[in-house]
């Protein structure tokens, strides 16, 4: 059997391996690595032995069939300095217990109730937009999804906490992007200036979350997730640290990723008038509150296509906890495995005209199952998948119904591959009211 050293690979630097190329341009480097060396290739980042995998069958093998042979990767474990032991970073029986306790909040019957909050919060936001006045779409979607998640899951109006959550969260995310693209990535524990700023931001987040928990303890009768966790039987109840970790994880995973899916979707819609017209026709034909994505199938296709081209989580990693045979290679314990949605979901092997924005491809999808995995795969697939999809569809329908967005010309839309795929400088656009179009 072939071994790690036999894997096809780029011509890296002595000692540094692929670190210079990867740190300069992670998305471009992984795309070239796949194009030049195939579905499974060596990715040597300094002393770290890694493998880039972009074959849907191998993705399924590792993330689903052999999930007990892997744990979270090194870079994902860095997140534990911020998220603690939440669903994203925890492992083993601890993770299973937490997943079991949190899962009921994301059952479809529960999510349909959240639709009222999603709809109302979106209407509130678009009512604040001033026609003809430029705004940052990413910032607006961030605010909106944070409000939705905070009210639906925690039973609080997050407005008074916004600056104490969104701003420090931005500091933390940018720090992880710096670590990812640094030639000398310093772990969070090293007390350099950038890490001290991130630590200060985490402290701000902790204070805001502690206040949210205190507020909910005063009003324990709510039917939101946090109230249910606070009312749980003593044997199942989370302690304060566990509550903090899961709340922060849900805030980050529950608002950041959906905000980005919507940001990229709105950008693409603004660039494709035909798609916008079909969305508008569908949403006008369905008055009232949408409670399932099936009610607006074209909206769902648009969201899927936006996530295919601009996956909010652009790559995930695992580390082998035991030796394993993958794709004809014998890989040893400790090897890092990387799966890049950015690469696989734009691969012409699986998607015709892969760089085209084509929601119609989702009418009868022809791609292999794990060629599209924006929410991960296997037992650790995102617990809030259905919540996120309904939220994206509801918000998209209300925004499109109320406004057309004119993208600001000549702006630099620079991709920032941190934990998520952000627009580094935001996404600027000017809203135009639909009634103005009808009157013209």
State pLDDT tens for residues 424-435. 999 999 999 987
**Whose CA is closest to 146, among 308, 260, 293, 64?**
260
Mean pLDDT on 198-227: 86
pLDDT in tens, 37-59: 999 999 998 889 999 999 999 99
What's the pLDDT at 166? 82
pLDDT at 163 over 70: yes
pLDDT-above-70 percentage for the chain: 97
Q: Identify the pLDDT of residue 439.
A: 42
Where is average pLDDT lowest: 232-236, 253-257, 326-330?
232-236
As a whole number of angstroms, the distance between CA 362 and CA 369 comes to 13
Are 7 and 326 a contacting pair, CB within 8 Å? no
Strands 329-331 and 324-326: antiparallel
The band of 438, judged by pLDDT with boundaries at 50, 70 and 90, is very low
> Exposure of 418 by Cβ count < 10 A (0-12 exposed, 13-18 middle, 19+ buried)?
buried
Res 440: pLDDT: 44
Residue 371: what pLDDT?
98
Distance set, CA 11 to CA 19, 39, 255 (Å):
11, 17, 39
Decide if pLDDT at 251 tops 60.
Answer: yes
Average pLDDT over residues 243-249: 92
| Residue 317 contacts residue 30 (beta carbons within 8 Å) | no
- pTM of whole model > 0.75? yes
Ordered domains of the chain (ranges, CATH)? 2-439 (1.10.630.10)
State what percent of residues in the chain have pLDDT above 90.
71
Q: Higher pLDDT residue, 184 or 135?
A: 135
| Mean pLDDT computed over 276-284 | 97
SS3 state at 251: helix
Among 76-80, 160-164, 395-399, 432-436, top mean pLDDT goes to 395-399
Q: Which residue has the higher pLDDT, 341 or 223?
A: 341
* Residue closest to 306 by CA, chosen among 250, 258, 378: 258
């Amino acid at each position: 059997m072939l071994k790690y050293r036999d894997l096809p690979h780029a011509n890296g630097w002595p000692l540094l391996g692929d670190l210079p190329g990867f740190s300069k341009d992670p998305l471009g480097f992984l795309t070239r690595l796949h194009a030049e060396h195939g579905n499974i290739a060596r990715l040597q980042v300094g002393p770290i032995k890694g493998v880039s995998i972009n074959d849907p069958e191998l993705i399924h093998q590792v993330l689903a069939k052999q999930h007990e042979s892997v744990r979270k990767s090194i870079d994902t474990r860095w997140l534990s300095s911020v998220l603690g032991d939440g669903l994203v970073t925890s492992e083993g029986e601890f993770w299973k217990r937490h997943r079991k306790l949190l899962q009921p909040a994301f059952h479809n019957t529960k999510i349909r109730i959240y639709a009222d909050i999603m709809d109302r919060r979106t209407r509130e936001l678009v009512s604040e937009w001033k026609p003809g006045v430029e705004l940052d779409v990413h910032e607006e979607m961030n605010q909106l999804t944070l409000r939705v998640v905070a009210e639906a899951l925690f039973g609080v109006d997050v407005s008074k906490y916004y600056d104490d959550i969104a701003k420090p969260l931005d500091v933390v995310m940018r720090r992880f992007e710096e670590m990812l693209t640094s030639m000398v990535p310093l772990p969070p524990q090293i007390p350099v200036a950038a890490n001290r700023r991130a630590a200060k931001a985490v402290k701000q987040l902790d204070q805001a979350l502690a206040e949210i928990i205190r507020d909910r303890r005063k009003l324990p009768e709510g039917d939101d997730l946090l109230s249910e966790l606070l009312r749980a039987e003593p044997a199942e109840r989370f302690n304060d640290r566990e509550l903090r970790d899961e709340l922060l994880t849900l805030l980050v995973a529950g608002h950041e990723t959906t905000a980005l899916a919507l940001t990229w979707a709105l950008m693409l819609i603004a660039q494709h008038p035909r798609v916008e017209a079909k969305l508008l026709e569908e949403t006008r034909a369905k008055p009232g509150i949408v409670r399932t994505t099936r009610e607006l199938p074209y909206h769902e296709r648009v969201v899927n296509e936006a996530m295919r081209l601009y996956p909010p989580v652009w790559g995930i990693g695992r580390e082998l906890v035991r030796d394993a045979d993958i794709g004809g290679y014998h890989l040893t314990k400790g090897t890092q495995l990387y799966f890049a949605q950015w690469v696989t979901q734009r691969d012409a092997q699986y998607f015709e005209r892969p760089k085209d924005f084509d929601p119609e491809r989702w009418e009868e999808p022809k791609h292999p199952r794990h060629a599209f995995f924006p929410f991960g795969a296997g037992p650790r697939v995102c617990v809030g998948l259905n919540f996120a999809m309904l939220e994206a569809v509801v918000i998209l329908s209300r925004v499109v119904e109320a406004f057309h967005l004119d993208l600001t010309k000549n702006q630099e839309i620079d991709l920032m591959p941190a934990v998520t795929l952000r627009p580094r400088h935001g996404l600027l656009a000017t809203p135009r009211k639909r009634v103005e179009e009808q009157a013209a």
